[in-house]
Amino acid sequence: MKWLIGLTGNIATGKSTVARMLADLGATVIDADRVAHEVMRAGTPVHAAVVEAFGPEILRPDGEIDRARLGAIVFSDPAALARLEAIVHPAVGEEVARRIAAAPTPVVVVEAIKLIESGMARICHSLWVTTCPFEEQVRRLMADRGLSREEAERRIRAQPPQEEKIAQADVVIRTDTTLEETRVQVERAWRALVKESPAIKN
């Protein structure tokens, strides 16, 4: 039996940092966003469906989807975002399930920004949520992704409030601290998990 940790949190709240820490502790990490990139590659059924839904203008010269261009469309239009997710989520869910089954470790982390909304949280034994203040999200998006403040705020506001995820969490990791303080929180939660789960001990 594998023990599944669902790791989620809104944009720029430190999910990837926490995922790396869990990998260091011995978990297999499956990044659902990376899986989404793969299922949307040129030549796949998802790629064809996305192009049909949003038009050939979202393509780069090499035929791959220009994620920045697609993001500009869906993050300013909730209906467009829902349309994209309806195309992509089922394929991502299937591939994530395949990778869980193939994982070599007893603990598997499924990292996904839409973990709850896509229904993947239902298969997880423990739900972990990362959180940080709005201004820190804006700062990170501007610094790490080169977005303007207006673009950063639009992306943040396109998502449900952080409080909705936190309300469902088994573990909340605050990342508006030093990396070492974040690691302390992760290791504390991991130790509690090891104590609870026979799957991790075996």
Would you give the end-to-end CA distance of the chain in angstroms?
10
Q: Kindly give the interhelix angle for 179-196 and 15-24, rounded to the nearest 10 degrees.
A: 60
**Domains within the chain, CATH numbers bracketed:** 3-195 (3.40.50.300)
Q: Please tell me the predicted confidence (pLDDT) of residue 158.
A: 87
Q: Are 130 and 15 in contact (CB under 8 A)?
A: yes
pLDDT tens column, 1-40: 789 999 999 999 999 999 999 999 999 999 999 999 999 9
Sheet holding 126-131, edge to edge: 28-31, 107-111, 3-8, 126-131, 171-174
**Percent of the residues in the chain that have a pLDDT greater than 90, as a whole number:** 89
pLDDT value at residue 63: 97
With bands split at pLDDT 50, 70 and 90, how would you rate the model's confidence at 202? very low
Classify 6 as helix, strand or coil: strand
Measure the CA–CA gap between 89 and 15, rounded to whole angstroms: 19
Please identify which residue in the block is written with the tokens 């989520």: 89
For the entire predicted model, the pTM comes to 0.90
